[in-house]
Amino acid sequence: MPVSVPDVSSSSFGDNLEELVFIENPALVGSLSGIIGNFTNLRRLVLTGNGIYGNIPDGVGSLVSMEEVTLSRNQLSGGVPVSLAKLKKLRVLDLSHNYLDGYVPLSVGEMPRLKEVYLSGNLLGGHIPEIWERLGGISGIGFSDMGLVGKIPASMGLHLRSLCYLGLDNNMLEGTVPEELGFLDCGYEINLENNNLSGKIPVDFTAKKLKLKGNSGLCVGGGDLSAYAKFESSLGKLKLCNKSDISSPVLLQEGPLDSSSSSSHTQASSWMMLGLGFLFVLSC
C-alpha cells in the first residue's frame, strides 16, 4: 500500500533538518515539492528507488546549503530546473534513471565544487555542452543511455584531469575518440560502448578500463597493437586502420615522396617558379 512522507516542513524539526534520506521504498510516493518543503538548512537530499513523481521544483535552488542531491530511480519528469545553478556547494548531483527530458543542463557548469554528476537513463539528449572549464574537480560523470548526439568534446579531457569514471555508452555519439581523454590523471574507467564512433583509437590511454564495444567504425593502428593489449577484453572486434581512417595534418616533409605526392610536389614547385618569374618581371 502506498505511503507518504510525513509533512514536517512547518515544524521546528523541519527547520533544523540537515539530511533527508529514503532509500529503496517503492511504496513511498509523493511529489518532490510536497516532500522537501522549505528546508533551508538541508545539506543532503537522498531519495533513491522510491515512488517520487512529478517535476523537480524550482524551489530546490533555494536550498543553498545543499551538498548532495540524489534522486535516482524514481518517476520524476519534466526538465532539470535552471535554479540548480544556485547550489554552489553541491558536490553530488544524481538524477539518473527517471523520466526527465530536454538537454544536459548548462547549470552543471556553474557548480564549481561538483565532484560527481549522473544523468544516465533520462531523455536528456542533444550535444554534450562545453561546460567543463570550471569543473576540474569532477571525478565521476554518468551520461549513459540519454540519446546524446554529436562529438565528444576534447575539452572534457583538457579540463577534467581528476576524472576517474566517464560513462557515455549507449548513445548516438559520432566522430573520433579525443586523444585528450588519454591523459586523465585518474581515468579508472572510460565507457564509450554502443555509439557511432569512428577512426583510430588513441594509443596513450592511462585508463584501467577502456570500453569501446559496439563502435564498428573504430580501428587500431597496425604498429600499435601491443599498446591495446590491456584493453583486449573490452574493445570488441576491431579492424586495422587504413589510410582513410587516420587523419594527418599536411606538413612539409623531407625524404622521398611516393608518385602521387611527387606529382603534387612538382606541380607546386612549378607554380612557385612562375610566381617568382612574375615578381622578377615586375621588379624590372
Which CATH number fits the domain that encloses residue 197? Answer: 3.80.10.10
Cell numbers of 233, please?
577484453
pLDDT digits (tens, 9 = 90+) for 234-244: 666 667 887 66
Query: Does any domain span residue 260?
Result: no
- With H, G, I as helix, E, B as strand and everything else as coil, classify residue 56: coil
CA 92 vs CA 64, 108, 139, 162, 189: distances in Å: 14, 11, 10, 15, 19
Query: Does any domain span residue 274?
Result: no
Query: Does any domain span residue 267?
Result: no
Query: Does any domain span residue 280?
Result: no
Query: Does any domain span residue 173?
Result: yes
pLDDT digits (tens, 9 = 90+) for 107-157: 999 999 999 999 999 999 999 999 999 999 999 999 999 999 999 999 999
Query: Does any domain span residue 5?
Result: no
Query: Does any domain span residue 43?
Result: yes
- Averaged over 86-90, what is the pLDDT? 96
Full residue range of the structural domain in which residue 167 is found:
12-251
Phi, psi for 269 (deg, rounded to 5): -65, -40
Q: What is the pTM of this model?
A: 0.81
Query: Does any domain span residue 245?
Result: yes
* Whether residue 57 has pLDDT greater than 70: yes
If one counts the domains in the chain, the total is: 1
CB-neighbour burial class of residue 71 (10 A; exposed 0-12, middle 13-18, buried 19+): buried
* Whether residue 255 has pLDDT greater than 50: no
* Whether 48 contacts 72, CB under 8 Å: yes
